[in-house]
Amino acid sequence: MFHVRARARLAIIFAALICMSALGACAAPKPEPVQPPPPSLNLATPRITPAPTEEPPAPIEVLRPEFTVGRRVAHVFGEGEDAQLYCGFEAVNTGDCPAIIETVYAEFDVEDAGRFSTDFSPVAGEYDVVPPGGKTFCALWLPAREALPENPGVTLSLELTALPSEAPALELSVKNARVIQNYPAFATVSGSLWNESGEECPLNVIYTAFYDQAGELLGVFHFTKNASIYADEFKNFVVHMQPLPIANLAENTFTIETHAFGIE
């Protein structure tokens, strides 16, 4: 009997201990969760990489091709409806680049006959590349197509347009130029054409300009020596200037200037 009671009492005590353990577990505070450390703040001043400095664009070069008319002369050749208006003149490259004469506007004011005008381009002018400060020549024969008075006074007006050119110029020169009045109505010009360009020149244009003792321009004539000229070679020429019937041209000529260029 004693054993039964003892066992009962032990069971009650054991049950009470279990309940107390459960109550203690329920009352125990929950541990605080472990928080991760806050991220570190980099308070240093950020490095700013300067933008690359851009070079300013190079200025665009503006070329200024220009020719200025120098000394000039005008004549009337022939009579009646076969008369021709003639002009010859110097043209100096006063621009800042090698250039060619693109067009010429010529206006003749003929005494007792009125005005005659025309536009034209110089013969093979696209090959006549003139450096700044250089000089070329030009001549024009213009049919009047109407009867003109005999030996009228003529006033000449000229306007030139120019184009820049990068084309290489074939350098030719004229030596020993001379004019002879061995025909009554016209003179003859002779000399030697030299090819100093360093390469073969198949065609050419030659200008000769005649001046009196006072430096006045008497006339300009152009022609071609129709022959291929090798580098450092020369060709002699004799040309009858029938289209230039200026009275006493050889007698009145004191100096001769020339300008020649090659055509590839």
**CB 224, CB 261: distance < 8 Å:** no
Q: What's the 3-state SS for 142-165?
A: EECCCCECCCCCEEEEEEEEEEEC
Q: Could you tell me the mean pLDDT of each successive run of 10 residues in the chain, 264 residues long?
A: 48 49 48 56 59 70 90 93 94 97 97 94 96 97 90 94 93 95 92 91 96 98 91 94 95 97 90
**CB 72, CB 217: distance < 8 Å:** yes
Query: Can you give the pTM of this predicted structure?
Result: 0.76
Please give the DSSP secondary-structure letter assigned to residue 58: P
Provide the pLDDT for residue 86: 97
Provide the pLDDT for residue 37: 57
H-only helix segments in 56-163 = none
Provide the pLDDT for residue 26: 45
Domains and CATH numbers, the chain: 63-167 (2.60.40.10), 170-264 (2.60.40.1620)
Provide the pLDDT for residue 4: 42
Residue 179 CA: distances (Å) to CA of 22, 130, 131, 176, 246: 143, 26, 28, 10, 12
CB neighbour class for 37 (10 Å; exposed up to 12, middle 13-18, buried from 19): exposed
